[in-house]
Structure 1
Amino acid sequence: MVKLSKKVLGRFVRTEAYRDLTGEELKSVDVECSSNWKQVVEIGGDTEKVIAEWSAEEKKLFRLGARSFYIKCATYLLSTLPLDNIVLRDLRCLRPDIIHEESSVVAFRNLAQHVPQVIPPQAMSGLMDELALVSTEKLEHDPGERIDVAWQPIFVMRGKNSGPRYPLLGKLVKALLCLSHGNADVERGFSENRRLLLERSNLSIESINGLRAIQSFSKRYNRDVATIPIKADMMKAVKQSHKRYIERIAREDEHAAKRSKLGSNCSSTKPQQKQDPNTEIHLAKKMLTNAEALIAKGMKSQAFADIASGQALLKEGQARLADALHKLEASKKSTRGKAL
């Protein structure tokens, strides 16, 4: 964020006005003060070539417009970005290459104070001891390596009792790494499901799960199918895919037959009972109970076919209950009319 802000400021503000400022201090820069402006606004070499044939007045108006644009951009960034956020500033200590610096110890202490549910106050001295000890470790770090991967060797270090050598530090770092993990993965999953449903028709839950599994696996190889290794397990899975499909269809047919049988059992009553609205209400409630039991069973065993059957039975039971209640109300009105 600081680099982005300074990059925008560098287009029209003199370097000495922001060069040595921290993120918090950048907010105090007056971008509308003409004494901080460069004499010539940076617009890029390509743009300079395009306007080379323009008149002096046109060039002047263009540069004034460019400066106005940069001022608005800088004002928005400096007022919106959390440049003065202390937590974000202290999160720099997660970089393993600066763990030996004294500033990282101070940053870890500040961060631990912000998450007392992770590191309680009485454990703070133990955390400081672990930081002093880990600063003496010889750690190898690749600048292009992910932070969680770089911390993994520290997490797996063992002490004399075969337990983690840095239990408090590991707990704190893992909690801090979770702060930057939002709901993007969940939203991306919904987007992928939506694309699957829009680009194809008549997809079952199993088909969607299968396509999602294939897409997730292909991400390991940057979605380049040519680089995916063909192994014996994969070939075996492909050969047995049709067999599993036939078995799934058979299970779905079995559940459909079971659902039909449940519906017929609930509706098989004597002719005189069908004419009684109270009996129809009782049968509809029984159908709803069976549907709820079937859905609960499917949820517990992750059987999507049972869930689908239960939902269909539930819908039919609700319709019958509504019809029976309507008949009962009509019967009551008819009885009151005869009494009058």
Structure 2
Amino acid sequence: MFPDSDIAKTFTCGDDKTAYITKFGLAPHIKRDLVSKINNGPFVLMFDESLNQTTKNKQLDLHVRFWEEEQVHSRYLGSQFMGHATAKDLLEQVKECVDQLELRSLVSISMDGPNVNWKFFELLQREHAEQYGGAQLVVVGSCGLHTMHNAFKCGFTMWQLDKLLRAMHTLFHNVPARREDYSTVTKSTVFPLSFCGHRWVENLPVVERALAVWPSLLQYMDAVRTKKLPNPGTASFDTIAAALKDPLILAKLQYYMALARTFNPFLKKYQTDEPVMPFLGKDLAELTKSLLRRFIKRELLQDITTLQLTRLDVADKNNWLHPQDIDIGLGAESILKSTKGVELTVLEFRRDCMQGLSNIVRKVQEKSPLKYPTVRQMACLDPSVMYRDPDRCKRQIKCLVQRFLQDKQLTGGVSAGDVILQQFDAFLSLESRSEEFLSFQPMQKRLDIFLRDFLGKTYPELWAFCQKLLILSHGQASVERGFSVNKEVEACNMQQDTFVAQRLVCDYVTLHGGVTKVPLTRQLLNSVSSARSRYRIHLDQERRKKESEAQGRKRKAEEDHLEELKRRKKSILEVSEGLARDADRFAEEAEGKAGSKMAMLISKSNLLLRGFKEKLAELEIIEKEIVAKGAELRT
């Protein structure tokens, strides 16, 4: 295979060599290295669950956010597999996965927003406080990205657009004959896309495609109506046929598209592992305002603060604009202007849009990270805010220090807090007045690297505090991306520990930017060279485990047999005693009788005595078996 390489000629690889090198060579080294780096400083845990299609269990993935090589990283730590997923189950599984970590350095937990997760967080907080002298984890709310998707969904449930979009895709998906009929009639090979039910905002391409193929779909439906093509007779076809009767269906799709485009920049910006929490409050507030400006009176939004945004009563219709003034997007407005004779339907459509916007904003307010002071106060680490409003930054950093003191997350207590505030004051006065701070652009330069260059050496206490703040997670993007990796790694009959090993290796390769860029350190090479011996030890342990289990099953069977013998002995004793009593009774009755009556009673008594003797013989045999079996079990 490699005629020009003497080294390659000597290379051999058996069927299972790659597997055991991954599981017993690479993965142990990666895990040890990861744990040692995590335990060097503060960290944040992130977790989420998904269904593992191979094992058919819930797979709980845990990631860790910590400082590595002078910047924030999010790394895969491990997975736990479970059936039930109550709060107590989650707590047990998480504790098992992080048993090698120094939990005193745990700063916060990042998670989605289901009630079971909040119950888990409550249990963890209680246990954390008991173990570490009342220390509490910093609360920054649940994942802000999931909140956006769930909120967006609430604005469109009344129209059931998801049902239509699914039907458009299903009608032609994996049906070659129907696709050929469609292409023949429409002269088009462009088909609807699949609708994603749990990430509504990301369905923007689906809606764009639906609008693009709508004229062709009308041609197809008309051909079916005129019987030029066979009627599919499916629920999907009926759903589309019903939607065609709605004169404003295209306006609804255009409105969906306009609103999704409002959300998309925010979601794309925060699909990152970089520390962007300092910008989250401002961007989320601006997104909320952009939604409110579509249907809320302008005077209510003038000079409104971030906290007031979360408390504004958007359900009060007195705060709404007139239906004619609502902003539904240019596409929807254009369709409404071209639609004649349905004025009442148009008015109802506008009111539905306002109600939908109200539902969206209420959902955002309910789950918004903006409700949590820490999220709002993190803006003090935004370089542009440092330049423009240093006094505000001083107030916010003071609140953060007080919060960490209250949660017992600040080593050194009040005196350390005073030093942090003094250094931050000096930093704002001396460092933050440069053009670099004013022109700082998130996503173009990493905030952690930017602040490290200014704080790392000159302000050590302040920098240590900022490191804790910068690892606070703004969302679950890294965990969600891991689910895609799971699907690639999954294979039939794959064991759970093998799955975790492969995930660790994938994460390590991704961290270094590819297989060819992974540093071949001495520790890594030594671990791989020891993989074969570890594999043999593992096989030996598995063999011993199977033998032990087999012996256990055999002993259990023998113990069960012994118990059965004892039960039989007890039963025979009871029967034999009954036979003896009956024989004696018949014999006593025979003494007072004569003739045939006496003979019959004596005959019965003798018959019972023979049965009694047989039972005694059987009992003797069973007793010998019991003695022998007991001696066998004792050896």
TM-score, L = length of structure 1: 0.64
Given the superposition, is the C-alpha separation of residues 108 and 328 from structure 1 closer, same or farther in structure 2, using an over 3 Å criterion?
same
* Letter matched to residue 424 of structure 2: L
In the alignment, the residues of structure 1 paired with residue 364 and residue 450 of structure 2 have an alpha-carbon distance, to the nearest angstrom, of 31
TM-fit CA distance, 1:51: 2.5
The residue aligned with 1:180 is 473
TM-fit CA distance, 1:250: 8.0
Match for residue 51 of structure 1 among 333, 336, 344: 336
* Letter matched to residue 87 of structure 1: T
Q: Deviations over 1:239-277 (max 9, x none)?
A: x9xxx79x9678646754xx4xxxxxxxxxxxxxxxxxx
TM-fit CA distance, 1:17: 2.1
Is 1:128 the counterpart of 2:421? The answer is yes
Structure 1 unaligned regions, length at least 5:
158-164, 222-227, 235-239, 260-305
Match for residue 377 of structure 2 among 90, 96, 118: 90
Q: Deviations over 1:180-219 (max 9, x none)?
A: 267765676576446522xx23546557634652465246
In the alignment, the residues of structure 2 paired with residue 102 and residue 254 of structure 1 have an alpha-carbon distance, to the nearest angstrom, of 63
Is 1:62 the counterpart of 2:349? The answer is yes
The residue aligned with 2:562 is 328
The residue aligned with 1:280 is none
Match for residue 147 of structure 1 among 444, 447, 458: 447
In the alignment, the residues of structure 2 paired with residue 232 and residue 196 of structure 1 have an alpha-carbon distance, to the nearest angstrom, of 19
TM-fit CA distance, 1:332: 2.8
TM-fit CA distance, 1:168: 2.4
- 1:148-297 alignment to 2 at 5 Å? 148-157=448-457, 165-180=458-473, 185=478, 189=482, 192-193=485-486, 195-197=488-490, 200-203=491-494, 205=497, 209-210=501-502, 212-214=504-506, 216-218=508-510, 221=513, 252=535, 256=539, 259=540
TM-fit CA distance, 1:97: 3.2
Is 1:19 the counterpart of 2:253? The answer is no
The residue aligned with 1:276 is none
1:11 alignment partner, SS class: coil
1:118 alignment partner, SS class: coil
What stretches of structure 1 move > 6 A for 4+ residues in a row? 181-184, 231-234
Q: Percent identity?
A: 19
Is 1:115 the counterpart of 2:404? The answer is yes
In the alignment, the residues of structure 1 paired with residue 473 and residue 518 of structure 2 have an alpha-carbon distance, to the nearest angstrom, of 39
In the alignment, the residues of structure 1 paired with residue 466 and residue 366 of structure 2 have an alpha-carbon distance, to the nearest angstrom, of 30
2:344 alignment partner, SS class: helix
1:13 and 1:31 in contact (8 A); partners too: no
TM-fit CA distance, 1:95: 1.4
TM-fit CA distance, 1:76: 3.1
The residue aligned with 1:32 is 316
In the alignment, the residues of structure 1 paired with residue 494 and residue 385 of structure 2 have an alpha-carbon distance, to the nearest angstrom, of 51
TM-fit CA distance, 1:86: 2.2
1:14 and 1:37 in contact (8 A); partners too: yes
In the alignment, the residues of structure 2 paired with residue 84 and residue 97 of structure 1 have an alpha-carbon distance, to the nearest angstrom, of 23
TM-fit CA distance, 1:231: 6.9
The residue aligned with 1:277 is none
1:118 and 1:175 in contact (8 A); partners too: no
Match for residue 102 of structure 1 among 382, 391, 394: 391
In the alignment, the residues of structure 2 paired with residue 74 and residue 96 of structure 1 have an alpha-carbon distance, to the nearest angstrom, of 29
The residue aligned with 1:312 is 546
The residue aligned with 1:81 is 368
TM-fit CA distance, 1:45: 1.2
In the alignment, the residues of structure 1 paired with residue 518 and residue 477 of structure 2 have an alpha-carbon distance, to the nearest angstrom, of 35
1:115 alignment partner, SS class: helix
In the alignment, the residues of structure 1 paired with residue 518 and residue 420 of structure 2 have an alpha-carbon distance, to the nearest angstrom, of 48
In the alignment, the residues of structure 1 paired with residue 409 and residue 315 of structure 2 have an alpha-carbon distance, to the nearest angstrom, of 41
Q: Deviations over 1:44-64 (max 9, x none)?
A: 111122233323333222222
Structure 2 unaligned regions, length at least 5:
1-283, 575-635
1:193 and 1:208 in contact (8 A); partners too: no
TM-fit CA distance, 1:81: 2.4
Q: Which deviates more from structure 2 when the two are superposed, residues 14-23 or residues 179-188?
A: 179-188
| Higher helix residue share | 1
Given the superposition, is the C-alpha separation of residues 154 and 63 from structure 1 closer, same or farther in structure 2, using an over 3 Å criterion?
same
2:302 alignment partner, SS class: coil
TM-fit CA distance, 1:93: 0.7
Given the superposition, is the C-alpha separation of residues 188 and 315 from structure 1 closer, same or farther in structure 2, using an over 3 Å criterion?
farther
2:380 and 2:396 in contact (8 A); partners too: yes
Highest CA radius of gyration, 1 or 2?
A: 2
The residue aligned with 2:285 is 2
Q: Deviations over 1:11-36 (max 9, x none)?
A: 11233321320122222355534464
TM-fit CA distance, 1:103: 1.4
* Letter matched to residue 344 of structure 2: E
TM-score, L = length of structure 2: 0.37
Match for residue 431 of structure 2 among 132, 137, 148: 137
In the alignment, the residues of structure 1 paired with residue 480 and residue 331 of structure 2 have an alpha-carbon distance, to the nearest angstrom, of 39
| Higher strand residue share | 2
2:431 and 2:454 in contact (8 A); partners too: no
1:155 and 1:170 in contact (8 A); partners too: yes
1:118 and 1:172 in contact (8 A); partners too: no
1:17 and 1:29 in contact (8 A); partners too: no
Given the superposition, is the C-alpha separation of residues 171 and 310 from structure 1 closer, same or farther in structure 2, using an over 3 Å criterion?
farther
TM-fit CA distance, 1:176: 1.9
